[in-house]
Structure 1
């Protein structure tokens, strides 16, 4: 089956994530994968109401950026060298603390992680933007919070195991967001195949957000009777100048 894909972090100068902005394609690679991750979606509403009202007419304000929560295991016991995988292994090897790996691993892993995510970069006057990848999953954003829980120590106090709880906030440039949204933009020509139950006003509303443009669409497609659409028929929905 091959080795399981590890969580990797790529670093970029800006949130356009272009090839020219790429700093390091392998800035950080987890030794042990997290057991999972969480995505938070948040939508903001205006819940203000006039005095004396007995109900609230919540009004949409904006969709806030997504956030990603991940827990990373930073291990210095040496277990990760002989037992690569994504499960948290609690067995401590014999001779713990005698291997040079165990004396510096946690500190070095934490340093590498923070340099790739949260450290202030003087050349760009901010921390890096990052793409967090795990197999087919990708998240573009920036580190906003990192909490480190130290779990195990050597006799001299050197940390041998730590859990890093990281939160990343979605961050995408306006240009990239526009490029990503082109496929659903009403400013581009769309081709749709008529399905059972489709009507021209309904299809027009789905494309343009308003059904009142159905006569223009009928004209473009040469429809004599727009009320009799045929399933399987292909219709074009061109860019239209919207009117209020």
Structure 2
């Protein structure tokens, strides 16, 4: 049985047109980052021990490296190589094109859209699953191979995507469970974690499940948008 190789794709909308970027090579690893912010509560200090007070969670992030190589995958539209560069070639070969033409498609995700005036929200998919939804916050391009004429033909782009919604609860909003909200599911989320972040009570997960008609509360899909209803007294 032949298993089809699935490529990671980055889906977004640019100037009102849906765009899907497919990775030339799949990343070797994915680094998901989640963080909770705590601070000392001096008012609750007992003896020499001060309590910790939860202040919220910054947006989740996903880091990955994308590899690009146009040396081994030349552009058929390019001009033929000068035979002086490849004296041993038995057939005429097309010149590899500038790899930065491909990396720019990724770097461009940090640039504002003409319609929305902000960078696009990206959905990263790999196979059947959705890996992450968020914006590209950083893209560092490193070129590692050049032709004799200086044309860059091999590069990697280190990307860091950040979710748009932060699980933040400022000090003056710690009891704001009486306001309906929306939340985008991230990898590793559970209803109990979401309830803890939004209601400050992990036991209040059932109102979220009921409001979104979740038949199986244990099955959440990254990128899924949930309505977080206000709590009734």
Q: In which range does the TM-score fall when normalised by the shorter chain?
A: 0.5 to 0.7
Gaps of 5+ in 2: 76-87, 167-179, 186-190, 196-203, 215-229
Among residues 79, 92, 97, which one is paired with 1:103 in the alignment? 97
Among residues 42, 55, 59, which one is paired with 1:49 in the alignment? 42
Which secondary structure state, in structure 2, belongs to the residue aligned with residue 162 of structure 1? Answer: strand
Task: Give CA-to-partner distance per residue, 1:196-221, whole Å, 9 cap, x none.
Answer: xxxxxxxxxxxxxxxxxxxxxxxxxx
Which secondary structure state, in structure 2, belongs to the residue aligned with residue 111 of structure 1? Answer: helix
Whole-Å separation in 2 of the counterparts to 1:178 and 1:114: 24
TM-score where L is the length of structure 1: 0.58
Q: Who is 1:68 aligned against?
A: 62
For this pair of structures, how many residues does the alignment match?
171
Q: Who is 2:18 aligned against?
A: 24
Q: Which has the larger radius of gyration?
A: 1
Task: Give CA-to-partner distance per residue, 1:114-152, whole Å, 9 cap, x none.
Answer: 23x212222211111110111214211001111111111
Query: Superposition pairs for residues 1-244 of structure 1, below 5 Å?
Result: 1-12=2-13, 23-26=17-20, 28-49=21-42, 54-78=48-72, 99-100=94-95, 102-104=96-98, 106-115=99-108, 117-135=109-127, 136-172=129-165, 176-177=182-183, 184-186=205-207, 188=210, 241-242=232-233
CA RMSD between the two structures: 3.8
Decide whether the 8 Å contact of 1:12 with 1:128 is kept in 2.
yes
The structure that is helix-richer by fraction is 1
Give the 3 Å change call, closer, same or farther, for CA 69–80 of structure 1 in structure 2: farther
Gaps of 5+ in 1: 14-20, 82-93, 192-238
Give the superposition deviation at 1:49.
3.2
Whole-Å separation in 2 of the counterparts to 1:178 and 1:152: 40
Whole-Å separation in 2 of the counterparts to 1:240 and 1:171: 24
Whole-Å separation in 2 of the counterparts to 1:168 and 1:2: 29
